[in-house]
Structure 1
Amino acid sequence: MTSPRPARAVSRPGLIETVIALAMVTILGLSWGLADIGRLSRLILPDADDMMRLAQIRDWIGGQAMNDWTQYRMAPPMGSPMHWSRLNDLIPAASILTLTPIFGRYLAELVTVVGYPLLLLFVSMLLGARIARRLWGERAGVPAVVLAGLAYPGTTLFIPGRIDHHALQVVAIQIAVLALMTPGRVAATIAGLALACSMMIGLETAPQVVALIGVAAVGWAVRGQRDSARLTMLAAGFTGLTLVFYLTMRPTYWSDTLCDAFTPASASAIILVSGVLALLAWLTPRLTSPWQRLGVGASLGGLVIALVLARYPACMTGPYGQVSPFLRIRFIAHIDEANSIFAQTLWWRMVSLAGLMAAGLVACGWTTWHASRRWPLWAPIAAVVVVSGLITLSQVRGVYIGAPLSVPLLAGWVVTARRDGRPLLVVAAWLAGAGVTYLVVPSYIDRWLNPPPAALLAKGRAAYATPQMACNSGDTWEQVDRLPAGVVMAPTNMASYMIGATHMKTVGAGYHRNDRANMDMYRYFLSPPGVGDPIVRAWRADYVMFCPGDFSEIKVERTYPNSLATVLTHGGTPPGFVRVPLHGTPLRLYRRLD
């Protein structure tokens, strides 16, 4: 394929793109929502983090302070500090508060948890189309919109109920990319604001933020005085909004030992980076060659990194540096998105997760080769895709940013194939740019090579339900919620659901700042029956909860054959507890006798 002609001036997003995006979001939302209607109607959300997010939003609406991110029903009575900011809670909380007087609290929450992710998907699709039009011209908008709706696994962030912060991060990075592709000081300011929002939401996108700042700095090094004002405004937006966040949303748990969210380390890094960008802009007249500017910029950037690491050594060990070594091995190592794409045990699953990301990387190379002179236009998006691809080698979460951002590049293949008038090439371009291709084709090949037993096929979708999904089915949590309130000792799989769906409290839950309580939870379940009783008494636990399949990731029956978890797996009862009858669910709940 040859490269498309240079993009013409970009107009406002076309009506046809908006209509297509709205239609696709409606169709996808209905299909996703109906597929999970049983749980969504009971406000049981797709992921444990979504349930905890709903609990955080409810607590905030209920009067918890803006800057108090503590989850008080986890590790009671003091609670456990969370690393999530309030920024992602703003729209859902505002939606619930607005709709409650009209529809009542239940419907207000239901509309919000269904509508908020779909709203972000709609915005993301239009942003992808706008970026594609900047790259390839007006004809790229429609292909980009369609491919964005098919951009698995990125689309999994936008399904109804996914109210966690990752979808908003995708949108923030897209805004920053589009702004950096657009000339002018206003666009540079918008880019800085979007980057500040992304860092405030969470540090998962810190590598992409660094890459985009690097692109802006390289652009300044090459163009000199023409970009100095843009660099100044980028710095102003970046540090200005961060200071606003510091004054209004700085969490009460503000420690130099943390480097996992909006912390002294990240705030200091943003201010220092912004100061360096402003200094470079001021020094532009004195730096007469691109190599001088590049050398000074790289030196000051390296100095900032050194200063931050020296002042905040916790950043050298990453966000999980303070997690107990045992939990890093037994818990963190089994979080799917925190591990390399090559850690996937099923080949087709690896292809489905990384396929679109790989296609995006190929598209980066193709764009670089065929449109090298237009590098200021495609460099921001290419930087994000390449960095996301590198992250995927160590953490699967890289694909969730990289897949949606690959779409505008891949839309260029469709535009080029259409212009060349080759029908087979057009079909190939569409298939290569559609993320669902890498999901559907490999899974069908795997089922053809390894057909499931007839008995499994007879069960239909239920055969592929995880134990966690089974334990969250029906009116399980309504039954639990009718019991007297108390503290529950529960494995991480169920703890967030219990907090989000009932009035119970839990000792451990799958959040790295809750280290001491998580360690006690593991000690209790992995010790022989009766040995962990002092732990239960210390936490004043009233209940023990267990879902068949808990601790299966560490092969508990083999690694801890004499443990309480193994006894519970085989239907036993914890010493000193009696089973509470729950109907229509495999979830088991035990009440303390004394």
Structure 2
Amino acid sequence: MEKLKQVFDRRWRLLLLIAWALFCAWLIYSRWNYIRGFILTDTDDNMRMSQVRAWMNGQGWFDLRQYKMNTPYGINIHWSRLVDLPIAGLILLGRLFITGPHAEQMAVAVAPLIPLALMMTSLSLIIRRLVAPAAWPLAIGCLFFAGSTMGMFQPTRIDHHNWQLALLALGCAGIADKKRARGGVVLGIATALSLSIGLEMLIYLALGGVTLVLFWIFDRDERRRLATYAVTLAGGTALGFLVFASYANRGPVCDALSPVWMSDALLGGALLLCLASWSPVKWQIRLGAAAAAGIAIAAFHALAWPHCLSRLEGASPELYKLWLSHVREARPIYAHGWRTATFTLALPIAGAIGWALLVWEARRDWSRLLKVAGVALSAIAATLLLFWQTRTGPAAQMLAIPGAVALVWTWAPRAFASNNTIVRVFGTTLIVLGGLGAAAPIILDQIPDKTQTPRDKKIGLANNLCPSLWAMKPVAQQPQGIVFTFGDLAPRLITVTHHYSITGPYHRNGTQIIDMMHAFMWSPDQAHAIIKKYRSDYVLVCPMMSQSTLFKSDAPNGFYSQLDKGKIPAWLQPIDLGKGSPLKMWKVVG
């Protein structure tokens, strides 16, 4: 066993590379049908591909409006080009050897595997630094059962969430780094890059900065880590804004890297650099100075950007009621049923126990204790945030992995060494399976799930079939035009056909989302006026798709419900999409 530990320690880079390659092979094999069918399962993945194509076809670097929606004005997309770069690079590389469509298939298969490598490396570094140098392979086992996390790294998942998760893990590796200057640089760069992509990890990134300040308060020698973090945070965020902020993000918007967050980062970096340079000997003075700096940053933000003190999306009450309140990932974990909650929370709970054990074991080593507590802080925060929104699940599971590894690494050998057979066999098994997050999936697989109703089966079938290339092919064969369709179907439509549409599920486009919702929920005459407002040539619906059920339940006599009942107004002319098509399409003739 000791020789094996030495191998895992000394050869960890090579072994990790092999583990990543095997993971990639398994993921590509398991998702091969998705790759071959160009199945981009999320609306954001489809929109990302449309954004990449638009840029590669000549759209400006700083112009992120999507002109295939709400033509000719386009819709406002709050993303940045940073995540577009590897996808576009893979497509260009693929075109040297294969055709354009196959190059895109290759790109969507490979692109998510790049941040996977960064995430696996960062987790391994955290574990080597905080648990044990040879314990990192246990993280690979955890990833097999971290379904929420790994769902973001599967081939065809090309949106920005995987990069943000990987950069969050990298930032935590910086917190755990013994080399102070390097640790500060790593956290600062990871924070700046993540902010350049989006604000989804803002809470954890802010906690990372607070952690380094606490390091400095408790240990004056941590000033080098704080200083390098301050410089790279401020400089990297400013550079990220200059290079990646779109035209729309150059205004004082709250939901992306803009002058709002850049000014906060510049002020915060300047104050932290002053604190690190000063570094008074007494910790009480350091605490007071840090508190004053925090108050100054908070006051500046509140006074300079008061409009960014509420929800960053800036959704109107009507938009929230009609659309945002129905977004599943924006609901708390307890609103998703016990099975989903158990699957999502099992690993974070094991991780929380492991983090507590690490804190207890490091209680006499002040330097190590600070690092353990610093990373654990983000892990616990992510778990608690699940009770606000389920979308924090991937981060909660990922940050739980070092703690879960600590639980298994510390207690499994102790149970195995017991003289009691029951403890040795069942105790070890329970610790390993429970700690790695495997127990919950294994147990859930043995419990019969609630039988799906015929309605549930129809909804699932529609959600799978309507966006498929097979279903979209006859739609693509119609003369090019503007298609009025569901917001959840529109990104797929513009990605796999030559058509245009109205809007997708993107909060900055509240007017278009509200109009789309009203059109399907109001009367046919009112729908006609809205559809003509957008100069639409076609109407396309997917009966029993999830969003359609909302229209039927909230507006049983509305336009969509009338279509579903076969009551077609005179201003729509049916289009034959072929036998068995899950879609229904009409040409606007009046």
Which residue of structure 2 lines up, in the alignment, with residue 350 of structure 1? 341
Counterpart in the other structure of 1:15 = 14
CA separation of 1:396 and 1:451: change in aligned 2, threshold 3 A:
closer
Query: How far does residue 544 in structure 1 lie from its aligned partner after superposition?
Result: 0.9
Alignment of 1:111 onto 2:109 = no
**More relative contact order in 1 or in 2 (CA 8 Å, sep 6+)?**
1
Question: Equivalent of 1:311, from 293, 304, 312?
Answer: 304
**Residue 131 of structure 1: CA displacement?**
1.5
- Give, as a single letter, the amino acid of the residue that structure 2 aligns with 1:587: L
Look up the match of 1:222.
Answer: 218
Following the alignment from structure 1 to structure 2, what is the Cα–Cα distance between the partners of residues 19 and 353? 28
Match of 1:338 in 2: 330
Is contact 1:530–1:575 with CA below 8 Å preserved after alignment? Answer: no
Structure 2: distance between partners of 1:58 and 1:261: 22
The RMSD of aligned alpha carbons is 2.4
Per-residue deviation at 1:353? 2.2
Structure 1 residue 508 displacement after superposition: 2.3
User: In the alignment, does 2:396 pair up with 1:402?
Assistant: yes
AA paired with 1:281? A
Query: 8 Å contact 1:10–1:134 — kept in the other structure?
Result: no
What's the CA shift string for 1:231-277, capped at 9, x where partnerless?
Answer: 11111111112222222222111354521111221111111211121
Matched, 1:324 2:323: no
2:3 alignment partner in structure 1 = none
1:1-150 matched pairs, under 5 angstroms: 13-31=12-30, 33-34=31-32, 37=33, 39-150=34-145
Aligned: 1:263 with 2:258: yes
Q: Which amino acid aligns with 1:585?
A: S
**Structure 1 residues 553 and 342, CA, compared in 2 at 3 Å: closer, same or farther?**
farther
User: Quick one: which amino acid aligns to residue 46 of structure 1?
Assistant: T
The 1:463/1:89 distance shift into structure 2, 3 A limit, reads same
Question: Aligned AA for 2:347?
Answer: L
8 Å contact 2:196–2:245 — kept in the other structure? no
Partner Cα distance (2:106, 2:285) in 1 = 55
Q: What is the aligned partner in structure 1 of residue 443 from structure 2?
A: 441
CA distance 1:545–1:463, change in 2 (3 Å): closer
Shift of 1:388: 0.8
State the 1:329 CA deviation.
Answer: 1.5
Distance of 1:186 and 1:517 partners within structure 2: 47
**Aligned partner of residue 173 in structure 1, secondary structure:** helix
Question: 1:4 maps to which residue?
Answer: none
2:408–2:436 contact (8 Å) kept in structure 1: no
Structure 1 CA distance for aligned equivalents of residues 458 and 563 of structure 2: 23
SS of corresponding position for 2:573: strand
- Point out 4+ residue stretches in structure 1 off by more than 6 angstroms: 461-464
Distance 1:153 1:440, change over 3 A: farther
Q: Percent identity?
A: 26
2:153 to 147, 155, 158: 158
Give 2:184's aligned amino acid: A
Structure 1 residue 550 displacement after superposition: 4.5
Tell me the amino acid that sits aligned with residue 323 of structure 2: F
Kindly state the Cα deviation for residue 122 of structure 1 after the two structures are TM-superposed.
3.4
Q: Label 1:363 to 1:554 Cα distance change in 2 as closer, same or farther (>3 A).
A: farther
1:170-569 equivalent positions in 2, closer than 5 A: 170-182=165-177, 183-224=179-220, 226-254=221-249, 256-284=251-279, 287-321=280-314, 323-344=315-336, 346-372=337-363, 373=365, 374-420=368-414, 421=416, 422-435=424-437, 437-442=439-444, 444-447=446-449, 450-451=450-451, 465-550=460-545, 555-569=550-564
Alpha carbons 1:195, 1:209 under 8 Å: kept:
yes
Q: 1:125–1:149: 8 Å Cα contact kept in structure 2?
A: no
Number of the residue aligned with 1:3: none
TM-score between both structures, scaled by the size of structure 2: 0.91
What 5-or-longer segments of structure 1 have no aligned partner? 1-6
Aligned mates of 2:53, 2:183 — CA distance in 1: 36
Task: Give the secondary structure class of the aligned counterpart of 1:162.
Answer: coil
Deviation at 1:555, TM superposition (A): 4.1
Distance of 1:436 and 1:116 partners within structure 2: 27
Q: Per the alignment, do residues 314 and 74 of structure 1 end up closer, same or farther by CA in structure 2, a change over 3 Å counting?
A: farther
Task: Select the residue among 161, 164, 167 that pairs with 2:162.
Answer: 167
Partner SS for 1:294: helix
